[in-house]
Structures are given as C-alpha cells and as structure tokens.
Amino acid sequence: MRPVYLDNNATTRTDPAVVEAMLPFFSEHFGNASSTHAFGEHVGEALKKARKQLQALLGAAFDHEIIYTSGGTEADNAAILSALETQEGRDEIVTTTVEHPAILTLVAHLEKTRGIKVHLIGVDRHGRLDLDAYAKALSPKTALVSVMWANNETGTLFPVAELAEQAKAVGALFHTDAVQAVGKVAIDLKSTAIDMLSLSGHKLHGPKGIGALYVKKGVKFRPLIRGGHQERGRRGGTENVPGIIGLGAAADLALQHMEEERTRVKALRDRLEQGILQRVSNTLLNGDGDNRLPNTANIAFEYLDGEAVLHNLNKAGVAASTGSACTSGSTEPSHVLRAMNLPATALHGALRLSLSRENTGEDVDRVLEALPEIVTRLRAMSPAWLAREGADGAAVASHV
C-alpha cells in the first residue's frame, strides 16, 4: 500500500518541478556567480531571477532585502546576533516559551555567556501569546524581539504584524521565525514593521540546506559568516546555486498554488481532525482552533504515549510525528505543550499530523480507518487508562 506522509512540518518532498529547475545548475551551468566569464554570468542571471521569485512570495519591497543562508537555523542565529551588535546600549531580548530550538538554544546560550536578559513570554492553554506580559516586557533596553509567525507543533499563528508595531514603538528590532508560515499563509512584508524574517526551503517543497533571512532596507546588519563579498558582503561563501534556484522555484510554485491549496488542504485537515475527535474519546485538540496554519493538526490522546500511537501508525503505513522533529525520539514531553499547560494525562499523548498540497482525501480516509482501532488497542493495555476507567466507574457508582 502507498505510504501516507503526514509529517510536512518536519520536511516536505522537494517538488519534481523544483528538482527539474535545479538540475542544470549541477552540471551544465556549474559556473561561480562571482566569475566574469560566460559560465558565471549565466548563473548570476539565474540567481537574480530566483531572488525575484522569493521577493514576490514575501511581498518584500526590494530583492536585496534577502540574504541566502543554509536554512532556518542559520537565519535565526544571524538575526539575533546581528541585532545584539547593532542595537548599542540595549541588552535584552524578548521571545516566547514556544519558539523552535533554533531560537531558544541560542538565547539561553547568550544569557549564560553574555549576560543578555531574556524575557520568555508564555502562552495560554490554546497556545495564544500572553499579550499583557509581552507589552510589559518591552522597554528601551530591548534590543530585539523574536516571535515566531507559526508554531511548528500546533500551527498556532501569532499576530506578528501587531507585535512588530509595539516593538518599533520602543525602538526594538522585530524578527520573526516564519519557517512554518512561508508558503502556507499570505505574507506582505512591505506593509509591516517586521525588520527581519527567517525561512527555510525544505518546508515549502524546496531543497534542504537552503534558507533566507529577510532584512528590511535600512535595518543595520552584521554578518554571521564573514568572508567574500557574496550577498553584498552580508554572508560570505560561494552561493549554494542549485539550492537558491530550487528555493526560487519553490517560492514561485507556493505563490501560484497558495490560495487554492490553502482552502483544499484546510478542508482535508478539518475532516481529519473532526473525524478523529468524533471517533476517539478523551482527545484534546492542541492549538488555537481558528488562528492556525491550515495544514496542522495536533491532537493528544489522554492516558497514552504518543510514541506508541506513532509507532503503530507507522506500521499501518502512515508517517506522522509526536512533536517537533528535533525532539522526537526523546521521551520528554514537548516544551510547547508543556508551556500550554496541557493536563498531565495528555502531555505524553500528542500526535502531530501535518499535511501538504500533495495529500489527498484517500490519505485522510486511511488515518481515520487505522487510528481509532490503534488507540482502542493501546488503551486496553494502558494501566493509566484502565485505572481511570475504574476511577470513573467508582465515581459514577458513588454518584448513583
């Protein structure tokens, strides 16, 4: 049976059209864009086109606002470290408890090694940001605010445009990790106060190992990687030409399909989610019901271990995740779900199903067929579930 892939927030399949666009740049057009001969010139032209394609997806005012990086993690690191250098006299960072480790690991390191004060803003039960705490944390000492556009585990969207306005009012720079949002939601950076934005090719059907940092015109930037004059001196090193061409092609496809795919994928996701919630008892939907990426469903099965559900789903030919790819395999509950204060009964039982434009109604049917039976079987073997049934039975008996 054809495997069903529902782990698109971890990574997506590179679109065949993207691969096709990249291929000539490994062999036929192998030149270095810095070279002045014909081999290099052709590459230079192709890179310019790719930059325009990404600019269009982001709604950036200028194509030189884009700096290519090796992915989302590098873009996040470059943004934070640059802001600390350029924002003289300011030594505080405001971010959230639910960021990706690409942000959280770095800010913890900066706190420890450089004495930077980090304000971690919390979220509520539905993953919504504590806006009062955010407003209170901002001050003339804030160098940078970094708040993700969309959460990788729950898909919850943060109101980044408004948050950026508030940051601007205190003179802080505003960065957003939009790795999960780019290609899935409409973005028009020229109409926002967002100063910097990170993205990653492999989350939007582009290749792995390529990403970008958008830096608004006029915002000072200090390179993370110093070297040659590539990227206008803002990121040294010979360009990953096939990767950049692939990212451009992926951006172009995302823009072409976004409207139509967003509606179709959301309808599939909603049917999947509702189907699970109706068929399986003691399930919790994690994340902001309305304000969410159209492709992400995060559901916790009480009294179960998400890893066991995942393992059984894998055996049924369905690939999904229990949380972020970087932390799966560890038995620790996700930091995002912990920050959301999930009940202890559900904390270990989360399953993330993330769709893409490649999924079909048949994929949804396959999960809806397999999952309820898996949960019933695992619960029948779960001491916690059986103890709960006993406890509920006792409660009903005493009530009667």
- The residues carrying an active-site annotation are 326
The end-to-end CA distance of the chain, in Å, is: 50
Question: Around Cβ 20, how many Cβ atoms within 10 Å?
Answer: 11
Backbone dihedral angles phi then psi of residue 190, each to the nearest 5 degrees:
-65, -20
Using CB under 6 A as the binding rule, whether residue 295 contacts ligand PLP is answered as no
Order of strands across the sheet that contains 350-354: 283-285, 296-301, 350-354
Using CB under 6 A as the binding rule, whether residue 102 contacts ligand PLP is answered as yes
Residues 6+ apart with CB under 8 A from 228: 34, 236, 237, 238
Using CB under 6 A as the binding rule, whether residue 296 contacts ligand PLP is answered as no
* Closer Cβ to ligand PLP, 154 or 200, answer by number: 200
Minimum gap (Å) between residue 235 Cβ and ligand PLP = 15
Binding ligand PLP by CB under 6 A: which of 7, 92, 177, 231?
Answer: 177
Binding ligand PLP by CB under 6 A: which of 21, 121, 138, 148?
Answer: 148
Binding ligand PLP by CB under 6 A: which of 73, 77, 295, 359?
Answer: 73
Binding ligand PLP by CB under 6 A: which of 180, 286, 296, 359?
Answer: 180
Asked if residue 325 lies in contact with residue 273, where contact means CB atoms within 8 angstroms, the answer is: no
Using CB under 6 A as the binding rule, whether residue 349 contacts ligand PLP is answered as no
Using CB under 6 A as the binding rule, whether residue 246 contacts ligand PLP is answered as no
* Closer Cβ to ligand PLP, 120 or 304, answer by number: 120
Backbone dihedral angles phi then psi of residue 120, each to the nearest 5 degrees:
-100, 110
For residues 30 to 69, the per-residue mask of contacts with ligand PLP, x marking binding by CB under 6 A and - elsewhere, is ----------------------------------------
Backbone dihedral angles phi then psi of residue 92, each to the nearest 5 degrees:
-125, 145
Using CB under 6 A as the binding rule, whether residue 127 contacts ligand PLP is answered as no
Give the closest residue to 286 by CA, choosing from 105, 123, 159: 123
Using CB under 6 A as the binding rule, whether residue 156 contacts ligand PLP is answered as no
Asked if residue 267 lies in contact with residue 364, where contact means CB atoms within 8 angstroms, the answer is: no
Q: Which stretch binds ligand PLP (CB under 6 A): 175-183, 249-257, 337-345, 371-379?
A: 175-183
Bridge-based pairing state of the strands 350-354 and 318-319: unpaired
Minimum gap (Å) between residue 355 Cβ and ligand PLP = 15
Asked if residue 345 lies in contact with residue 162, where contact means CB atoms within 8 angstroms, the answer is: no
Minimum gap (Å) between residue 323 Cβ and ligand PLP = 11
Q: Which stretch binds ligand PLP (CB under 6 A): 176-184, 238-246, 330-338, 366-374?
A: 176-184
* Closer Cβ to ligand PLP, 31 or 242, answer by number: 242
Minimum gap (Å) between residue 278 Cβ and ligand PLP = 29
Using CB under 6 A as the binding rule, whether residue 287 contacts ligand PLP is answered as no
Asked if residue 128 lies in contact with residue 100, where contact means CB atoms within 8 angstroms, the answer is: no
The radius of gyration of the chain from alpha carbons, rounded to an integer in Å, stands at 23
Considering CB under 6 A, how many residues would be counted as binding ligand PLP?
Answer: 13
Binding ligand PLP by CB under 6 A: which of 31, 206, 207, 211?
Answer: 211
Using CB under 6 A as the binding rule, whether residue 244 contacts ligand PLP is answered as no
Using CB under 6 A as the binding rule, whether residue 71 contacts ligand PLP is answered as yes
Where along the sequence are the contacts to ligand PLP (CB under 6 A)?
71-73, 100, 102, 148, 152, 177, 179-180, 200, 211, 325
